Each structure stands twice: as structure tokens, then as C-alpha cells.
Amino acid sequence: MNMISPLPVAAPPADSVDIPAYSASGNECALFEKAWEKRLPLLLKGPTGSGKTRFVAHMAARLGLPLFTVACHDDLSAADLTGRHLLKGGETVWVDGPLTRAVREGGLCYLDEIVEARKDVAVVLHPLTDDRRILPLERTGELLSAPPSFMLAVSYNPGYQNLLKNLKPSTRQRFVSITFDFLPRDQEIVVVAQESGLDEGAVAPLVDLARRLRSLKGQDIEEGVSTRLIVYAASLVAAGLPRPEAVMAAIIEPLTDEPEVRAGLIEISRAALG
């Protein structure tokens, strides 16, 4: 007889006004939902400002899952995720870290820039991201079993990783993975207009400039202009700043510190926008 595996239980989805806006570029929403139903962890790869964090926030709200986001950095250790004993009013008390909270509450734990974290983080993630779905807490002696609604999502930007900062195959091969890229032109215009409040006609030249500058990635600039930066520029224009000043502050300055490259970018943007 077939065992029918019950779907993970989550809170009823939030009202649609509470769901962060996300414009899908493919089947990623369905894929996320299926991965969650099947209790599979998810890895999101893609350049900075391409919508990974927004996507996770959108899906967490859609599925009614509490979201625990951790921005990983090179000093982040396993204990920062699982928890530690802290001194409170002369007593030592155990305080759950965000990963432990997500496991206990059956929520979504999102580890942003996972490759930055210290190596011992993989040790706690491995038993959680295979079919065991367990989180051993050595310090408290507990062995937590993740409830069906718990999900782990991680992301990183493969663009500027060096070899040392790649995920090990044994970690990488525990995740269903999606690659993110910037949206097609017309869709990006709609998103930037919605995010910034600037009308689409005024957003279009900013998106076109950004797309032009993206083609310089790897030559003069390390990363292409993110959708985030276009939203910044459009928001400044919507607030009344002259367009050249907005482009300078929100697109060109964040891209480079090299005076020659900067001068070249200013030239390109003058030629494109006048």
C-alpha cells in the first residue's frame, strides 16, 4: 500500500497586500513550492541585486512561513546559527540561534552569502539537508527533528568567489538549485517602475543604460549594474533629483573606485542619456 505523505503544514498565507512583490522570470515560484512540499533544501545562485532575497521573502509570505534570514560573514560560526549559553542576570541560559528557531517553529531559514560562513557551519547543515532532517544541539544535548514545514534556503553570488570560497560538492549536492539573472528588459522596466514610483517611460532609459554597462562586466567592472541600483537611481529621480546626479550617485559611483573607469562610465552614460 502506498503511504500518502501529508503536505507540510504552514500558517494560512498572508493577505496578498502583505506579500512582498516579486516578478518571476521562470518557474521558480512553482519550483520553490514543490521543493518545500517535498522537504528539499534550496540553493539560489546569482549576481548581487538580482532578486534572490526578495524571492525568498515573497515565497515565505506566500506559504505563510516564519522567515529567519541570516547574512553570513567570514566570522559566522555554527554556534551563531544554532545558539549559545548566555549570561542573563547572573544565570546562564540557552538562547536559540536563528537556525534552531526555524527548526523548532517549522519556518524558513535563509542563509544569505553562505560561502562566506566558517567551515563548521557545513557540519550543522549536513544532517539537516539530507533525509535525516535533524539538528543535533551538542551543548543542550537535544536532537531536534525538523517538522515538515521547515525549509532551508541558501544563496550566494558565484561571480566573485575565489576557489577557497566555493561550496564543497558534498554541501552543494544537498540542494535543489536555481540560477538567477537580471530580468528581460521590459520586465525589468515594469519592476523598477513599481519599486521606485517613477513612470515606465522615464525608467526605460535607465534600464537601457544599465544593460549597456552590464556588458562591461569582467572587463572594467567586477559586477554588472544590479536591479537594486536601477531602483535607487529611479527613486532619486522620482524624488526630484536631476537624472545625471541620480545616475552618478546610484549607478556609476557604486560600480567602481578607479578614476579612469569612472570617467569611462560617465562618458557612456552621457552618450546614452544626454
Q: Which stretch binds ligand ATP (CB under 6 A): 20-28, 60-68, 201-209, 239-247?
A: 20-28
Which CB, 22 or 175, lies closer to ligand ATP? Answer: 22
CB of 116 to Mg ion, least distance (A): 12
* C-alpha span between 251 and 245 (Å, rounded): 10
Radius of gyration, alpha carbons of the chain: 21
Which CB, 129 or 226, lies closer to Mg ion? Answer: 226
Position among 32, 36, 50, 198 found at the interface with ligand ATP (CB under 6 A): 50
Position among 8, 10, 35, 51 found at the interface with ligand ATP (CB under 6 A): 51
Query: Of the candidates 153, 133, 130, which has an alpha carbon nearest to the alpha carbon of residue 143?
Result: 133
Which CB, 53 or 140, lies closer to Mg ion? Answer: 53
CB of 74 to ligand ATP, least distance (A): 16
Residues 14-53 that bind Mg ion (CB under 5 A): 53
Which CB, 36 or 110, lies closer to Mg ion? Answer: 110
CB of 23 to ligand ATP, least distance (A): 4
* C-alpha span between 32 and 159 (Å, rounded): 23
* C-alpha span between 97 and 220 (Å, rounded): 41
- The DSSP annotation for 35-91 comes to HHHTT--EEEE--TTSSHHHHHHHHHHHHT--EEEEE--TT--HHHHHEEEEEETTE
Beta strands 67-71 and 176-179, pairing class: unpaired
Our finding on whether 48 is near ligand ATP (CB under 6 A) is yes
Residues 137-196 that bind ligand ATP (CB under 6 A): 157, 183, 191, 195
Phi-psi region of 89 (alpha: psi -120 to 50; beta: other; left: phi over 0): left
| Site for ligand ATP, rule CB under 6 A | 21-23, 46, 48-54, 112, 157, 183, 191, 195, 227-228, 231
| Site for Mg ion, rule CB under 5 A | 53
